[in-house]
A and B are shown apart, each in its own frame.
Chain A
Amino acid sequence: MELNINQFCNVAVTPDDGQRVFNSISPAIQSGQPVVLNFAGVTVFAASFFNRAIGQLLRDHTRAELKKLLVVKNLTADGANVVRQAIDNAEKYYGSEEYRNKQRAVVESIAEGE
């Protein structure tokens, strides 16, 4: 399955557009079908888009699984940086309740220490 992002939006920015992409690719990913995201013609990127479009996939799939199933085409290096950071973030968030608890503990200690 190949999805042209510019059919959804000309700029990969808003969470709503990211959600639409996610809704389109999630069933295929769930069923183990490879997906190609084609970013031809898209040159503006924001984390909010990728958090929804791709980050959410880390809720139900490991990074290793997605590496086999999800490929991007025609993505600028800058866009790739944004995607990778979104993936890193999402992997931490969904990967470990312990991480979320530790994050909260750190924040609480900062707040008390101030």
Chain B
Amino acid sequence: MKVAKISAPAIRASEQGLSVLAKLWEQVNDCHFAVEFDFSTCSFLSHTGIAFLGGLARLCVFRNGSCTFAWSTMRSPIRRNIEENGFHAAIQNKAGGRNGNSIPYREDRNLDAENLVAFLRDRWLGRDWMNISQRACDTIIGKVLEIYLNAAEHAESPVGIFTCGQHYPKTRQLHLAVVDFGVGIPCKVRHHLKLPTMKPCAAMAWAFRPGTSTSGGSIGRGMGLEMLRQLINLKQGELSVRSHNGHAIITEGPSAFSAVPNPFGGTIVNIKLICDDRHYCLESEMARLADGNVF
């Protein structure tokens, strides 16, 4: 079988990095069968790239192809990082990884909510990188879970959901990327609203409005993506969502929705939180709801 060698350039956790990933997806899409990633020209491989490449590898196999990584072409720092975050082991279907500045790579074919909560608590927010109360931690986790729930319920990703994160101590940032290879938000919104010509930026904006959802049936839904907006406001961070040919940046200020030229089949969510020295707790921690009514 002929193997298509794909050269992976530097993949940063940035808009440019997302464009690189979209191009890689396109190249893999064109290959059909056997793919090998070469990292000779890759000077940096971000957590976003790792989550994405893991998913892409599984997608190739799902399509009855194969995907291999030329590990020997990786530069030492990258190799050390993927051994630390467990990606190297996971791709070979082994257990592995060790503690460091990484949030471990993981794959979720079926959503195990309690396992995921434990992961987010123990391996992401609970690692003393952020001075945060347990209650605030659980609140953030509840909102981040909306990403996974959205992907599990709406994305129709045949290979599941892929996660990887990184703590960058020099810039005092904590990142978490969640990737799926489903239909993408703009497509889902267009189909749900029966508006096939809806522009991607409009579709993304609609998806982030409170009360909107592409759930079928009569159950009132929505709020998941709006909850993520609340997360960003809580922790002075940034939420970036690249989905098919749409892009959204959510910060404490105005949100930005745009169309991008290189669509790819799926969604990449990146959460960036700032690790400062202030202690964060919820204002509501000062008062507990009196037993009673929520109506």
Contacts and interface: CB of A to CB of B under 8 A. Distances in A.
Interface of A: 9-11, 13-15, 17, 43-48, 51-52, 55-56, 58-59, 63-64, 66-67, 70-87, 89-94, 103-104, 107-108, 110-111, 114
Given A78-B135, A107-B193, A46 B145 contact: yes
7 contacts: A44-B142, A44-B145, A59-B218, A71-B291, A75-B289, A89-B223, A110-B205
Contact of A92 (B141, B145, B220, B282): B220
Contact of A46 (B149, B205, B220): B149
B129 to A, nearest CB: 20
B146 interface: yes
B256 interface: no
Chain A binding surface, main DSSP class: helix
Contacts of A11: 113-114, 117
Nearest to B136: A78
A111 B220 contact: no
Interface string B102-123: 0000000001011001000000
Contacts of B284: 76-78, 81
Contacts of A81: 284
Interface residues of B, number: 45
Interface stretch (B77-85, B165-173, B195-203, B270-278): B195-203
Given A43-B138, A93-B220, A111-B199, 8 more contacts: A11-B117, A44-B145, A58-B220, A73-B291, A89-B211, A90-B220, A108-B195, A110-B205
A14 B152 CA distance: 10
B289 A80 contact: yes
B127 interface: no
A84 B134 CA distance: 22
Interface of B: 111, 113-114, 117, 134-135, 138-139, 141-143, 145-146, 149, 153, 193, 195, 197-199, 201-202, 205-206, 210-211, 218-224, 227, 282, 284-285, 287-289, 291-295
A9 B139 CA distance: 17
Given A77-B282, A111-B202, A48 B220 contact: no
Contact of A14 (B149, B218, B287): B149
Given A77-B287, A80-B289, A51 B223 contact: yes
Contacts of B219: 51-52, 55-56
Contacts of A92: 211, 220
A98 to B, nearest CB: 15
Given A13-B117, A44-B142, A89-B211, A107 B195 contact: yes
Contact of A13 (B142, B198, B199): B142
A58 to B, nearest CB: 7
B223 A86 contact: yes
Contacts of A114: 198-199, 201-202
A14 B113 contact: yes
B202 A72 contact: no
A111 B195 contact: yes
A91 B153 CA distance: 22
A76 to B, nearest CB: 7
Interface centre among B145, B224, B284, B294 (most CB of A within 10 A): B294
B294 A84 contact: yes
Contacts of B282: 77-78
A64 B202 CA distance: 36
B225 to A, nearest CB: 10
Contacts of B142: 13, 44-46, 78, 82
A70 B284 CA distance: 22
A89 B210 contact: yes
